[in-house]
Amino acid sequence: MTRANYCIHQTGLAASGPLGARPGWARRAGDACVGPPEGADLGRSWRLILSTETWETYWRDYRSPDWWEKPAPEVLDLIRSLSPEHRPNVLDLGCGLGRHAIAFGLAGFSVTATDASSEAVQHLVHWARSLQLSIQTRVADVLDRTLPRGSFDVVLSYNVLYHGTRERFMTAIEHVGCLLKPDGIFYFTCPSREDGKYGFGEQLAPHTYKCDKSVTPGDVHYFADECDLDEMLRGFDSIRRWMTEGYWDNRGSRQFYSNWNVLVAKKAGRTARQQDRGG
Ligand SMILES: C[S@@+](CC[C@H](N)C(=O)[O-])C[C@H]1O[C@@H](n2cnc3c(N)ncnc32)[C@H](O)[C@@H]1O
């Protein structure tokens, strides 16, 4: 049994839901933000639940980053739809090797990029330097509380937030709400229940699997449906929600993917969005 496997069971993930049981994480009166208190130890069990060690190993051993260095077309569309004058500050949360952070940087945005993997962040540091791009980088968990609140115009989290439990996913969404300026834009992706990985591997909680058909087998995925997304996104106005589906080559096997793409804005005035549309 791997260490990650052991820790998942130790935290009682399937039984009680670790977030609710974790002391010191309760919402404070009058504070719309959730997540660990300042300076909290985002410790071993949380990291392992989210498979971050799996990703660290993956990035360390990865030898042909070509695919991971090419921005997703949806993100390029997003970049084209936004103006760096009206929405200058972008956060790439779970940036990986940094393909989207670089794309935003090249388009003139001021970019902060974070990832739990130091290997991935180091890669981005070198890549940005080679392009003479200034990108703020940080090795950090998605729930890290040291990023300035209310300071980002755009938060992107591409294929990141569903790595873990539903509770954790929802906490991460609320945390993004805290990081965004009023009317700030949030774009994220997550697998639907039609995805080829759904239902395979050890089930840890409803719609939550320790996936054996993922890019990094053994990592935990939560699979969302439409109602779920509605519930998790109450603090946001929906701009657009759509699916991307197709097949990918999973070590020689053709595997179906089905991902939600979610574009929302933090609830508050419309000014910045009108500006995006040239209004
Ligand atoms: C599928 S990759 C996506 C990387 C990048 N967003 C992209 O599209 O190229 C998932 C990334 O999420 C990161 N990650 C997973 N759990 C995390 C956590 N709890 N905090 C920060 N990063 C995390 C992993 O290290 C990995 O780089």
Q: What top-level class would CATH report for the domain 3-8+42-276?
A: alpha beta
User: Is residue 197 within 6 Å of ligand 1 at its C-beta?
Assistant: no
pLDDT band at 123 (very low <50, low <70, confident <90, very high): very high
Please state, in angstroms and rounded to a whole number, the distance separating the CA atoms of residues 162 and 261: 12
The ligand 1 atom at the shortest distance from the C-alpha of residue 117 is 25
0.95 surpassed by pTM = no
- Report how far ligand 1's centroid is from the alpha carbon of 100 (Å): 12
Q: What are the pLDDT digits (tens) for 171-189?
A: 999 999 999 999 999 999 9
Q: Is 175:152 a contact under the CB 8 Å cutoff?
A: no
3-state SS assignment for residue 120: helix
Each domain of the chain, given as residue ranges in start order, spans 3-8+42-276
The ligand 1 atom at the shortest distance from the C-alpha of residue 97 is 9
Place of tokens 């839901």: 17
Please state, in angstroms and rounded to a whole number, the distance separating the CA atoms of residues 52 and 94: 10
Average pLDDT in the 93-100 region?
97
Q: What are the pLDDT digits (tens) for 127-140?
A: 999 999 999 999 99
pLDDT band at 32 (very low <50, low <70, confident <90, very high): very low
**What share of the chain in percent tops pLDDT 70?**
77
User: Is residue 190 within 6 Å of ligand 1 at its C-beta?
Assistant: no
Residue from 41, 218, 61 nearest 143 by CA: 41
